[in-house]
Amino acid sequence: MSVTLTVSETITGANASDTLAGGSTGLDLGQTTNGQFSPLTLQSANTGHQDLFLRSDSVVDPITDVKFYLAQYSGVYGGANTAAGDFTTVGNYGAADTGTTANNGDGLSRGSHIDMSWDVSVASQFGYSREASGQKRIFGKSYSGNTGLSLALAFDLHVDACSYWNGATEVDASAPVTGKIGKSTDTVLGNRGHIRNRFYLHTGETNGGILQYDTVVSFAYTA
């Protein structure tokens, strides 16, 4: 029996289906300004991010080996360069990231960042100190050789991203495991993977236009 993964913008929603340039659907993070990030609410307060919730329709076993990586855009391309060029650009952004402030206050952050702690505080979200624990990852930046730019170099779903939706409230899973999301009734592993996403631009960035790339979620299942 196949297992389907849903990646939604709300905890019980359908797959993200924003209309993108070129006509395909996916996730639109909005416009990013030099020295800032998107989605942005108030930079000084470090507010603004895109929530993403992962859940499967497995009815027997949890899904395992849940990982994230970037790939060349697979939709109908509508950007300012080429799909291959955008993938290279985003990877290079991450490799060149030298930021130290979560809100890009120093203007040195760039690329696609994820924070994998579902209940992290606003003040702490996307903080660079969180890289040491694996809670934060920047696609294109090397973490012991893993860059998040291929399946072989993908980033594991961090244990702190695992939560349980009880129908009314999101709460901690009681004994979550890195890379696992339980079936709908699993209070131990949790039934959600909850991450936050941002895209950052360096204060000195000179290239404009629409960037398009795939964020891929891979996983294994038995039933």
The pLDDT mean for the chain works out to: 97
Indicate the residue type of 98. Answer: T
Look up residue 21 and give its two tokens.
């340039």
Residue carrying the six token digits 């076993």: 61
User: Taking a C-beta distance cutoff of 8 angstroms, is the pair 67, 147 a contact?
Assistant: no
Find the distance separating the first CA and the last CA of the chain, reported in whole Å: 6
pLDDT digits (tens, 9 = 90+) for 20-58: 999 999 999 999 999 999 999 999 999 999 999 999 999
Using CA atoms, how far apart are residues 213 and 75, in angstroms rounded to an integer? 9
Q: Which residues contact 123 (CB under 8 A, 6 or more apart)?
A: 46
| Interatomic CA distance for residues 67 and 76, integer angstroms | 25
Task: Average the pLDDT over 163-174 and give the result.
Answer: 98
Quickly count: other Cβ atoms within 10 Å of residue 101's Cβ. Answer: 15
Of the pLDDT bands very low, low, confident and very high (cuts 50, 70, 90), residue 223 is low
With contact defined as beta carbons under 8 Å apart, do 163 and 170 qualify?
Answer: yes
Q: What is the pLDDT of residues 193-222, one digit of tens each?
A: 999 999 999 999 998 899 999 999 999 998
Reduced to 3 states, what is the DSSP secondary structure of residue 184? coil
Q: 3-class DSSP state for residue 155?
A: strand
Question: Which H or E run contains 88?
Answer: helix 83-95
Q: 181 in helix, strand or coil?
A: strand
CB 116 within 8 A of CB 190: no
Model confidence, pTM: 0.97
* CB 20, CB 75: distance < 8 Å: yes
pLDDT score, position 14: 98
